[in-house]
Amino acid sequence: MKIVVDAMGGDYAPDVVVTGAVEAVKEYKAEVILVGDEAKINALLKKNKYSGSEISVVNATEVVEMCDSAATSIRKKRNSSIVVGLNLVKEGKADAFFSAGNTGAAVCGAVLTLGLLPGVERPGIGIVMPTLKGATMIIDVGANITPKPTQLLQYGIMGEVYSRCILNKESPSVGLLNVGEEEAKGTEFVKETHELLSASKVNFIGNVEGKDLFSGKCDVIVCDGFVGNVALKVTESAAEAMQKFLKRHIKSSPVAILGYLLLRRTFKRFKKEIDYSEYGGAPLMGVNGVVIIGHGRSNVKAIKNAIRAAKEEVERNINKKIVEAIGSASAKN
């Protein structure tokens, strides 16, 4: 099995991407194809003292920048690491693709290059969030900001499959993100989605609220990509803001500084628990191929875990299960 890694994608690329790939190869016995500036990548492999055969390099002369427009860059930068990398998957030379670069371009490129799975209307980005009771997947967090209710139903189905196959949950439950728990709450869009989910085979527990992102009330939370994106960014920054607030207070007192020193290991473990880079990237679900989207700020660990996540998706054949689940859902209607 070979996993294509966009060596040029991410705020700290190509350095941390190459290091992450080297670590993943050692730890998870993955085979990786690094796509990007060949000379730079080879130099970094040397710097990492890597000379094995599990990593190969494919040259790509262009880079999609973070600020590039998604659709335009995919059409115009045919030699970018994203396009070259996705083509390797399309041509059957690799099994999965990972990029921590421009999310819009990766999503757009994946759809244009690989197409969608049979029966899937639109792809969705799923994020696995640590909660007080295990992990919850939130889908979609930005691939599709104006979805139809039928597409949210499909996100529920895909999230359920992911939760079962990758997060090892037995009978994953699905909730619909809304402004209140009562059935009558929300916009027409949300109410229609509620009806569809209720009538489906999905283990639907009804509406959930913003607070349930951390409560672990259900295994999958479906929402439109606009709300999901805002919620995700609020979450990320809440943790950071709280640390900064706390630091400011600690600095003002010697007793607090001593307390902080004693708590340092605890803070570290805590940070690790709420750090979703532990889960390794966000799967782009619904495309005809395994595609993992990384956070722009991905560090070595996040890159390594994303490669592991890609490997797991391929090994557990998640896309075949999604096609079956989507097919059986339509068969019912």
Window contacting its own copies (CB under 8 A); options: 4-12, 90-98, 260-268, 282-290: 260-268
Query: Contact region for its own copies (CB under 8 A) — 47-55, 232-240, 284-292, 319-327?
Result: 232-240
**177 forms part of the interface with its own copies (CB under 8 A):** yes
Amino acid at 177: L
Tokens read off for 316:
């557990």
Can you tell me which residue has the tokens 């920048």? 65
Interatomic CA distance for residues 260 and 249, integer angstroms: 11
Residue 238 contacts its own copies per CB under 8 A: yes
47 binds its own copies (CB under 8 A): no
Smaller CB separation from its own copies, 52 or 259 = 259
Q: Is 192 in the site for its own copies (CB under 8 A)?
A: no
Contact 191, 233 (CB under 8 A): no
134 near its own copies, judged by CB under 8 A: no
CA distance 287 to 164: 19
When the beta carbons of 12 and 226 are compared against its own copies, the nearer one is: 226
Through-space distance between the first and last CA atoms of the chain, rounded to whole angstroms: 37
> Is there a cis peptide before residue 140, judged by omega within 30 degrees of 0?
yes
Among 226, 296, 301, 323, binds its own copies (CB under 8 A): 226
Contacting residue, 53, 171, 211, 333, with its own copies by CB under 8 A:
211
Q: How far apart are CA 228 and CA 127, in angstroms?
A: 9
Cross-sheet strand order for the sheet of 282-285 = 55-59, 31-36, 2-6, 96-99, 290-293, 282-285, 124-131, 134-139, 220-222, 174-177, 204-208
Q: Segment near its own copies (CB under 8 A), from 36-44, 77-85, 153-161, 265-273? A: 265-273
39 binds its own copies (CB under 8 A): no
Tracing tokens 């009804």 back to the chain, one arrives at 206
8 Å CB contact between 194 and 206: yes
Tokens of 14: 């190509």
CB of 11 to its own copies, least distance (A): 15
Pair 136, 208: CB distance under 8 Å: no
Nearer to its own copies, 202 or 208 (CB): 208
Name the maximum alpha-carbon separation found in the chain: 67
69 binds its own copies (CB under 8 A): yes
Residue placing its CB nearer to its own copies in the complex, 210 or 323:
210
**Toward its own copies, which CB reaches closer, 266 or 333?**
266
Rounded Cα distance between 129 and 159, Å, is 13
- Asked whether position 241 contacts its own copies by CB under 8 A, the answer is yes
Decide: is 71 part of the binding site for its own copies (CB under 8 A).
no
Looking at 8-16, 114-122, 156-164, 242-250, which segment touches its own copies (CB under 8 A)? 242-250
Which residues have CB under 8 Å from 295's CB, separation 6+? Answer: 10, 100, 277, 281, 282, 302
Binding segment toward its own copies, per CB under 8 A, in 44-52, 159-167, 234-242, 285-293 = 234-242
Element (H, E) at 2: strand 2-6
Residue nearer to its own copies on the CB measure, 118 or 259: 259
Residues found near its own copies in the complex (CB under 8 A):
67, 69, 131-132, 142, 145-146, 177, 179, 182, 184, 186-188, 190, 209-215, 223, 225-227, 229-242, 244-246, 249-250, 253, 255-256, 258-267, 269-270, 273-274
